[in-house]
Structure 1
Amino acid sequence: MKESPHFHDLIAASPSVFTLGVAGDSGSGKTTFTQAIRTIFGEDLVSTITLDDYHLYDREERKRRDITPLDPAANDLRGLEEDLSLLKQGKTVLKTVYNHDRGTIQGPVPFTPSRILILEGLHPLYTPRLRELLDFSLYVDPATEVKREWKIKRDMQKRGYDRGEVEKEIARRAEDYDAFIAPQKSYADALVEIGFSRFGRDLGWLRDVYRVSLSLARNELAGDDADLRIDLGRLFSLPDGNFLFEYRKRELFGRKVATLTFDGEPGKEVISGLEGCVARQTGVYPPGLVHPDDTVNATACIRIILAIRIISRWLEIRDPDRPFRVSCGED
């Protein structure tokens, strides 16, 4: 029997550009998920535009105008729409680059898309036109206290700010977040929510262990052998980490969704079926999303499921008449 081509080969040969929007607040963990996409599909197939490159004003000008980068008025969203339309056709655009170290705007420089183009930032789902140009979208939504802890510890430990400065900046941005960023959740194809682990709040900062939920429209993830596996014999005989799974149906922003929650540190074998599914689709084994030790965290579990969903979406666009499923079987 002739071996079916891997997803990597299919998308590399495709003339189209698959566009993926990853939205969320600054410091919300968006890069954790975009890096996973690069790892799975390969650096040669994935390029990323950070939407900070579409800031209209540098850091000093924003201070003078008393405006935050969360305000759409501080960003060239019309220019982003025009560029994305061209990039989706595989064309090169000229765009500026925002230098985070200096807070300055540089360029313009040429940018050519790869077969998978990620738009990561504050406003990828803000306008109807941007949403129309995206093939799949994800909103990353850490709980308020999780995000607060991340920002305080990051800015104090890595950027030299004192706690008062960080808390002042958090308060200054809160109103704009609620007005301009949070409403984009309702348009996302997938929502990732991150909370402190029920097994201990300190596990988050110490070992990156959180409670992570993924919400998708029901029946949007289907596949042969894309399964979770629990070996009860091993479960009761080895001192694995604490973990839990939760599945629930709910209505979110007027849509019926299925929400899968992981918490703690399950044994690696629990997601071996999912990992094998991604490997067979991409031709990359192991996919590189989990650590080589015996346990994984909730974020790794969710990243693997998202990878399967993204593959499904690309295959659906390529052939809308095919049954909507990823085949993860051995044949």
Structure 2
Amino acid sequence: MNKPFIIGIAGGSGSGKTFFLKCFREHFTEAEVSLVSQDDYYIPVAHTMTKEENMFYNFDLPSTVDHEHFNDDINRLVRGETILKKEYTFNNPDVEPRMLEIKPAPILIVEGLFILHFREIASSLDLKIFIEADDHIALQRRVKRDLVERGYSREDVMYRWVNHVVPAYNAYLLPYKGECDQVITNNSHEADDIICVTEEISKELRKKILI
């Protein structure tokens, strides 16, 4: 297999990366696109902390990610290897982690908060896409997700937003916005808006890559 075309999808919490990726991948078959997410490379810490300590632990720092393992797996996919990776569940005891099987494909998507900050990973990207949303919209999405999916309290969510999420965005993501090939503002709650954007990008990729 030839070297895959690597797309980096970066965006802050609540920017709508997950929905963007869902829409984007629907334009391709499973054999055409593979996805590797920074979220599955957080260094496990739940077993070392009390519940209170976990509340104040800052996941929004590059040091909380095993970026060497992350980069190694990206390189393995580039070489045509299949990787097996245990899903990271953000210390939520109610979620049973799955074993993820990620197969190589002509298009490889790398997504996450710090993918542009990790310069070795950033240098491997052929297309860099920056997803952003207004602060109040991003916060609404974050609250909804963390209350339902991760079992956090509202107090916990707000503490993390003010003390972890916003400072990390400003320090480790926003400075790289200018080097991205495409910046997409995702304030809409209308699926059609994002579907149109992803369709346009996918058409270009299909012409260039999947011929």
| TM-score category (smaller protein) | 0.7 to 0.9
Q: 2:66 aligns with which of 76, 80, 98?
A: 76
Aligned to 2:163: 172
Unmatched 5+ residue regions in structure 2? none
Deviation track 1:291-317 (CA, whole Å, cap 9, x = no partner) reads xxxxx74222222222234335537xx
- Structure with greater helix share of residues: 2
Shift of 1:38: 1.7
CA contact (8 A) 1:23 1:140 kept: yes
Moved more, 143-152 or 126-135: 126-135
**Matched position secondary structure for 1:177:** helix
CA contact (8 A) 1:92 1:113 kept: yes
Q: 2:88 aligns with which of 65, 89, 98?
A: 98
Aligned to 1:125: 116
Under a length normalisation based on structure 2, what TM-score does the superposition of the two structures give? 0.79
Moved more, 14-23 or 152-161: 152-161
Shift of 1:103: 8.9
> Is the aligned partner of 1:142 residue 2:129?
no
Shift of 1:160: 6.0
Deviation track 1:62-105 (CA, whole Å, cap 9, x = no partner) reads 74695422211111112222222221121234544312443999
**Matched position secondary structure for 2:9:** strand
Q: 2:37 aligns with which of 50, 55, 71?
A: 50
Tell me how far apart the structure 2 counterparts of residues 120 and 98 of structure 1 sit (CA, whole Å): 15
- Structure with greater strand share of residues: 1
Question: In percent, how many aligned pairs have the same letter?
Answer: 26
- For residues 274-285 of structure 1, the aligned pairs below 5 Å read none
Superposed CA RMSD in Å reads: 3.2
Shift of 1:152: 2.5
Deviation track 1:186-245 (CA, whole Å, cap 9, x = no partner) reads 3322111133xxxxxxxx5xxx24xxxxxxxxxxxxxxxxxxxxxxxxxxxxxxxxxxxx
Query: Which structure has the bigger radius of gyration?
Result: 1
Aligned to 1:16: 3
Tell me how far apart the structure 2 counterparts of residues 64 and 152 of structure 1 sit (CA, whole Å): 18
**Matched position secondary structure for 1:19:** strand
Q: 1:182 aligns with which of 160, 174, 180?
A: 174
Query: Given residue 307 of structure 1, which amino acid in structure 2 is its aligned partner?
Result: S
Tell me how far apart the structure 1 counterparts of residues 161 and 196 of structure 2 sit (CA, whole Å): 30
Query: Given residue 126 of structure 1, which amino acid in structure 2 is its aligned partner?
Result: H
- For residues 213-228 of structure 1, the aligned pairs below 5 Å read none
Moved more, 148-157 or 172-181: 148-157
Q: 1:151 aligns with which of 142, 147, 170?
A: 142
Q: 2:79 aligns with which of 69, 89, 93?
A: 89
Tell me how far apart the structure 2 counterparts of residues 59 and 103 of structure 1 sit (CA, whole Å): 13
- For residues 319-330 of structure 1, the aligned pairs below 5 Å read none
Greater length-normalized contact order (CA 8 Å, ≥ 6 residues apart): 2
**Is the alpha carbon distance of 1:192 and 1:103 closer, same or farther for their aligned partners in structure 2, counting shifts above 3 Å?**
farther
Aligned to 2:184: 192
CA contact (8 A) 2:8 2:109 kept: yes
CA contact (8 A) 2:43 2:64 kept: yes
**Is the alpha carbon distance of 1:82 and 1:165 closer, same or farther for their aligned partners in structure 2, counting shifts above 3 Å?**
closer
Query: Given residue 172 of structure 1, which amino acid in structure 2 is its aligned partner?
Result: N
**Is the alpha carbon distance of 1:177 and 1:107 closer, same or farther for their aligned partners in structure 2, counting shifts above 3 Å?**
same
Aligned to 2:197: 302
